[in-house]
Amino acid sequence: MGTFQIDFGDAAQPERIIGIDLGTTNSLAAFMDLTGPEIIAAPDGARIVPSVVALLEDGSLIAGNAAKARLAQHPLETLYSTKRFMDRAASPLKIGNRELTPPEAGARILLELKNNAEAFFGEPITKAVVTVPAYFNDAQRQATKDAGRIAGLDILRLVNEPTAAALAYGLDKRNSGTIAVYDFGGGTFDISILKIQDGIFEVLATNGDTHLGGDDIDSLLIQIALEDIATEWGAPISDDSAAVETLRQAVIKAKEQLSFALFTNIDLEYNGKRYQREITRDLLERLIAPLIERTLAPCRLCLADAKLTYENIDEVVLVGGSTRIPMVRKAVEALFRSKPHTELNPDEVVALGAAIQAGILSGEVKDTLLLDVTPLSLGLETMGGVVTKLIHRNSTIPASETEHFTTAVDGQTNVLIHVLQGERELVKDCRSLARFELTGIEPVPAGLARIEVKFLIDANGILNVSAKDTRTGKEQSVEVKPSYGLTDEQVEAMILESLTNAENDIRERQVREARVESDRILGALESAKQSDAWFELPEEDKAAIQTAHNELLLAYHGDDHRLIQAHMDKLDKASLKLAENMMNSAVRGALKGTKI
């Protein structure tokens, strides 16, 4: 078990670790001061770095406010909200005449924060704690770590954003409790329910809308202004990207003022013309009421998933700039029957929590003398011989993570749970810890079973793995000691090996995952060929399906996951008519003998 020891003697100061909130719209960095966490300001005094990347004429990249300033005049050479694409880390994004992967774009934003921190402290900064949404999967978390590596930052820990917000408010000091974190930012909305027990956070449920945020409020006001301008100026400006971006900035300013005033003006000057319109808070609230209701629906679902009611929530925390809107705060208070925490700046609260975690790791937070962490990641084997990590290397213990899986075969009544340790992507390259079988699964069609797997490491480093069929309640578990038999040198060797082979491992994992998906599609097609729907197809449709089928089989045995995916898509399109016939046949069967 790895440890971080705090030295109270006269030894040299430990290397500084900063906390970073890598956001969809804006990003921030923070550090632990003598009095608590503080935001790191840029040399020009700006505390927030817009998550925007721009390509200059000389081919160089810039990020932050300088990049955002180019958005109106150079929209095709500017990227924003790239965090939304972290699940497609290998898919490039177009920026001018170049392509950047999402981790590369994220790295440029992290580099801006790193440079600001180095200017602030006058020393090199190479280590950080970075926050991620609670719903980020292993691939998205790995992409975030890759962004840090590209930027020259060693990301020591990824912290869930709702957990960071709760840390910032000191809620980890509670002995126990249940916390709702309502995060309404510029581009996304998230709701998380956390359970805290003896300072350990567990995410019970998370929900949200990745396409709902303050930008949608801006769009409503922009639409009103565009219609006014078209009438007043005698011509629309909607096709002029520079004019629309200038109007957007004026709208954002007016929206922010309405959080504190009952009325204000949208004021736009462009090409010698001026547009002004008074906007009242009452009008804004009537416009955005449906959007706010859209945030409440996921809150209700999240509570249901956590099997809780409003009465079970002890604290509510607000995160994100859109939570400054008075109507949002009233709606959250009414929903949870509890006054939410608003003492901290909602734009900064996640970064402040990250700084606290960074302070614990660096030893600047003095109330923790010894911090045990997991030296290697822990996960289990999934289809294709790949490893799905549940608890990541350097996670603080005690630690708990839960994920849900399903069956791959119709009528499957048992699954083998294979527990693994290591940083590599494939089962063959990781250390096997334990195997056990969950039996008595309800025999339902593939994909319908819901198997809940929970990893729990206690304060002694003992790992308990349990698997439960949520339909039948059948459960099995095993207890192992993950670090047993490993020396520090072996742990270091395993970590180094994972870094050396990272590129090849990811490539092979992508191929295996594509083959698993191909197996599912090919199996479904073989079943479909035995149905009446197949025999009803015209011969030319059958021929097209068979051609796509054969091409997929050829690609299947290659090592290009993109080619496999392309041929899966081709087979999917060729099979549309077959799928339609099968659906119609199912409907006819369901209605047979009934009277309307």
In the set 104, 146, 161, 429, the catalytic residue is 161
176-184 and 315-319: which strand pairing?
Answer: parallel
- Annotation marks residue 21 as catalytic: yes
In the set 68, 77, 83, 348, the catalytic residue is 83
In angstroms, rounded to a whole number, what is the distance separating the alpha carbons of residues 473 and 462? 24
Residue 240's identity, in one-letter code, is D
**For the CA atoms of 469, 472, 473, 475, what is the dihedral angle to 10 degrees?**
-50
- Annotation marks residue 83 as catalytic: yes
Topology of domain 503-591 in CATH is Substrate Binding Domain Of Dnak; Chain:A; Domain 2 (1.20.1270)
Residue 7's identity, in one-letter code, is D
State which CATH number among 3.30.565.10, 2.60.34.10, 1.10.3720.10, 3.30.1540.20 fits the domain covering 374-500. 2.60.34.10
Q: Which of 430, 350, 400, 423 is nearest to 184 (CA)?
A: 350
In the set 77, 104, 146, 183, the catalytic residue is 183
In angstroms, rounded to a whole number, what is the distance separating the alpha carbons of residues 473 and 531? 35
Lowest average pLDDT, out of 210-214, 243-247, 435-439, 574-578, goes to 574-578
Q: What is the pLDDT of residues 126-177, one digit of tens each?
A: 999 999 887 776 667 778 888 998 999 998 888 888 889 999 998 877 878 9
Q: What is the pLDDT of residues 444-480, one digit of tens each?
A: 887 788 888 888 887 556 788 888 888 888 888 877 7
pTM higher than 0.75, yes or no? no
DSSP 339: P
pLDDT band at 582 (very low <50, low <70, confident <90, very high): confident
User: Which numeric CATH code is attached to 2-169+345-362?
Assistant: 3.30.420.40
Which residues does residue 37 pair with via DSSP β-bridges, in sequence order? Answer: 32
Higher pLDDT, 176 or 501: 176
Position 411 pLDDT exceeds 70: yes
Q: Is 269 helix (H, G, I), strand (E, B) or coil?
A: strand
Residue 277 corresponds to which tokens in the numbers above?
């319109």
pLDDT band at 86 (very low <50, low <70, confident <90, very high): confident
Q: Where are the domains of the chain?
A: 2-169+345-362, 214-285, 374-500, 503-591
Topology of domain 214-285 in CATH is Actin; Chain A, domain 4 (3.90.640)
- Which residues contact residue 323 at a Cβ distance below 8 angstroms, ignoring those fewer than 6 apart? 182, 184, 329, 332, 342, 346
In angstroms, rounded to a whole number, what is the distance separating the alpha carbons of residues 540 and 577? 11
In angstroms, rounded to a whole number, what is the distance separating the alpha carbons of residues 455 and 306? 18
